[in-house]
Structure 1
Amino acid sequence: MPIYLFWGEDEFALNRAVQALRDRTLDPAWVSFNYDKLSSEQPDAVVQALNLALTPPFGAGNRMVWLADTLLFQRCSDEILRELDRSLPHLPDSSVLLLTHSHKPDGRLKSTKLLQKYGEIQEFSPIPPWKTDLLVQQVRRAAQEVGVKLTDDAIQLLADSVGNNSRQLYNELEKLLLYGFTDDRPLNAAAVRTLVTASTQTSLQLAATIRQGDTAESLGLIADLLNHNEPPLRIVATLVGQFRTWLWVKVMVDAKERDEKEIARAAEVANPKRIYFLRQEVAALPLAGLEQSLSLLLDLEFGLKSGKEPIALLQTKVIELCQLFQKAKS
């Protein structure tokens, strides 16, 4: 009785997983008989989905029932909970019940605990842009899935270019697959640079220019990010993550900590080898400046969430941040 909950805001990655599950569950000749997708807006959608999942498939293959955008794991009535408790343990092995939603399930609800007992939960959330190690791993996995051979420098460049945009990642990999179709050799960074459209500027680049106190370049990056429809709160989230990492590395370095693994643990950096480069990045930065930068970023986040005009607020706070690090250099 395979039961799945797919959740997360990365709609493209989630839908790819749904399609993969559909392909391996259903016989193509019997799809119209054995595949049902229900919207949570339909009356009695949960009961209908459970009844369909309890029905044996017609012909070859298995049955798949998809209940999309369900709120079962954000709120659940006693009546529906009883239906779940009655049905989930008895779903036949020939049926797959899939439930999807963009938000994380509430672990306190009995419906979530029931699903954890009988099913499997998979998360499809965008990787935070500052977790560069995870972005590289995502590119490596996706390249293997698509069948594109890439050198290590090409993988790094592709991760830098597309960030956490999984839709663009697969689009670019399909393009690279066609380019390297006649050649078994791995594609290098030069090929990626020629063919891949970078997103183009990333919030991590913005963090680096702020750290260097380059006001003009930082304002240009803000304009580029907004022109590419990057949400202001996502820009701020990336900046907070990066400056928080720099702050922790600086704190540990100033405390004379030499163990890179210990510094990585404190800064929540997955790959301790990155600490060597992070130490170089924070070497000339004052601890007080990094602490103050997080205070300014908190003010920026509060202003955006309070409904202030985002462009002017972003520009103002970025100028203040750059001036903060210009003073540190002088």
Structure 2
Amino acid sequence: MPVYVYWGEDDYAIEKAIQKLRDRVLAPEWSSFNYNAIPPDGSDALIDGLNQAMTPKFGAGGRLVWLMNTTLAQQCPENVLNELQRTLSVIPEDSFLLLTSRKKFDERLKSTKLLKKFATEYREFALVPPWKKELIVKSVSQVAKDIGLQITPQGLEIIAEAVGNDTRLLHNELEKLQLYTGGSKQPLEVNTINKLVRNTTQNSLQLAAAIREGDTPKALTLVADLINANEPALRILATLIGQFRTWLWVKIMIENGEKNQQAIAQAAEVGNPKRIYFLQQEIRSLSLKQLISIPPILLRLEINLKQGANPMSALQTTTIELCQICIKNKY
């Protein structure tokens, strides 16, 4: 059945998958007649989308109906469920129904079970957690391979550190490097990568270190530099969450008496166990209580940013609060 369900937080990867599906299904000269993108705000958006999917196509190619950010991920009224049951099994072979959502489809819903039953493709586009550096390096390597770009292992590490889990930025940076090489098959030199790829993740890590030290003036300067460099606030936050999460897990394992660096690295999801010694040194002046108090504050910042708070103001306020926590009761 020509039903496609895409969901997840990797917006860029979903955009690319949708474009690929559009290019495959639609004939360019007939796309204005055979393509419908239906936003979720209409009261009858779901029913309208299903009706459009049943409408015969015009001319060449197929028909594509896209239910954008569908509410079916979280709820399904009885009348919509009935329409789904009636429609999904009889959608014409040249008519394609696409449903997308940033939220995971609730597996308990009958509508989700129905979509999984009839879907040609039911696919999650998840962002790699920012603290899983090995997976980010693997992603960089795969995209570079896909576009025919030769990069040394050290170069892959540098790019992974620079782009984090931002797949849009990853593609942009690699395409820039590809243009620079002019199709050369020689691996890019590290110096070239350092000159062409802007590393704001490193500055975000410096921000985390300044907060850890309770150095408010330095931390606020780094916040201003990052925002003025057009670094997205949520990306800065993702780096902070990943770094403080790692520090917290290392501290928990140490407090529990664990001395095996391999075991600590596994719990903290640190790829190289040799890093554990340095992480221990970084947090030796912080108590477990201090580190435990930080994640809820970062979570509150994430909520505020997603609700439209001013990035500079929100980051500055939270940075001051975190610095005060880290400087108090040090031992």
Question: In which range does the TM-score fall when normalised by the shorter chain?
Answer: 0.7 to 0.9
TM-score normalised to structure 1 length: 0.81
Q: What SS does structure 2 have at the residue aligned with 1:275?
A: coil
CA distance in 1, matches of 2:280, 2:81: 53
- Structure 1 residue 277: deviation in Å? 0.7
Alignment of 1:190-205 (within 5 A): 190-199=191-200, 201-205=202-206
- Which residue identity does 1:146 align to in structure 2? I
CA distance in 2, matches of 1:230, 1:108: 38
Partner of 2:97: 97
CA distance in 2, matches of 1:234, 1:197: 14
Answer with 197-206 or 75-84: which moved more: 197-206
Spell out, residue by residue over 1:26-57, the C-alpha distance to the aligned partner (whole angstroms, 9 max, x if none).
34455445433333345643334323434565
Q: What SS does structure 1 have at the residue aligned with 2:206?
A: helix
Q: 1:13 to 1:324 in 2, by over 3 A?
A: farther
Instruction: Give RMSD over aligned pairs.
Output: 3.3
Answer with 306-315 or 188-197: which moved more: 306-315
Partner of 2:168: 167
Alignment of 1:31-110 (within 5 A): 31-42=31-42, 44-55=44-55, 57=57, 61-110=61-110
Alignment of 1:1-330 (within 5 A): 1-28=1-28, 30-42=30-42, 44-55=44-55, 57=57, 61-119=61-119, 120-199=121-200, 201-211=202-212, 214-228=215-229, 235-236=236-237, 238-253=239-254, 255-258=257-260, 260=262, 262-267=263-268, 269=269, 273-283=271-281, 285-286=283-284, 289-299=287-297, 301-302=299-300, 310-323=314-327, 327-328=330-331
- Which residue identity does 1:280 align to in structure 2? F
Q: 1:121 to 1:203 in 2, by over 3 A?
A: farther
Q: 1:249 to 1:35 in 2, by over 3 A?
A: same
Answer with 174-183 or 131-140: which moved more: 131-140
- Which residue identity does 1:278 align to in structure 2? I
- Structure 1 residue 179: deviation in Å? 0.9
- Aligned-pair identity in percent equals 44
Q: What SS does structure 1 have at the residue aligned with 2:200?
A: coil
Does structure 2 conserve the Cα–Cα contact (< 8 Å) formed by 1:201 and 1:225? no
Does structure 1 conserve the Cα–Cα contact (< 8 Å) formed by 2:62 and 2:95? yes
Q: What SS does structure 1 have at the residue aligned with 2:23?
A: helix
Does structure 1 conserve the Cα–Cα contact (< 8 Å) formed by 2:237 and 2:302? no
- Which residue identity does 1:314 align to in structure 2? T
Does structure 2 conserve the Cα–Cα contact (< 8 Å) formed by 1:246 and 1:278? no
Spell out, residue by residue over 1:91-139, the C-alpha distance to the aligned partner (whole angstroms, 9 max, x if none).
3444321111233323332212221222243333443332322322222
- Structure 1 residue 202: deviation in Å? 4.5
Q: What SS does structure 2 have at the residue aligned with 1:87?
A: helix
Spell out, residue by residue over 1:288-310, the C-alpha distance to the aligned partner (whole angstroms, 9 max, x if none).
62431231453465478588962
- Which residue identity does 1:258 align to in structure 2? N
Spell out, residue by residue over 1:295-330, the C-alpha distance to the aligned partner (whole angstroms, 9 max, x if none).
1453465478588962552232243255259x44xx
Please list every run of 5 or more consecutive structure 2 residues that lacks an aligned counterpart in the other structure: none
- Structure 1 residue 59: deviation in Å? 5.6
Does structure 2 conserve the Cα–Cα contact (< 8 Å) formed by 1:63 and 1:95? yes
CA distance in 1, matches of 2:302, 2:5: 33
Spell out, residue by residue over 1:125-156, the C-alpha distance to the aligned partner (whole angstroms, 9 max, x if none).
44333232232222222222333221111111
CA distance in 2, matches of 1:234, 1:185: 32
Spell out, residue by residue over 1:137-196, the C-alpha distance to the aligned partner (whole angstroms, 9 max, x if none).
222222223332211111111121122332222222111111112421121321111112
TM-score normalised to structure 2 length: 0.81
Spell out, residue by residue over 1:194-251, the C-alpha distance to the aligned partner (whole angstroms, 9 max, x if none).
1123336553332234345555433322222333455656645543432232232233
Does structure 2 conserve the Cα–Cα contact (< 8 Å) formed by 1:215 and 1:322? no
Aligned residues: 323
Q: 1:190 to 1:288 in 2, by over 3 A?
A: closer
- Structure 1 residue 79: deviation in Å? 0.7
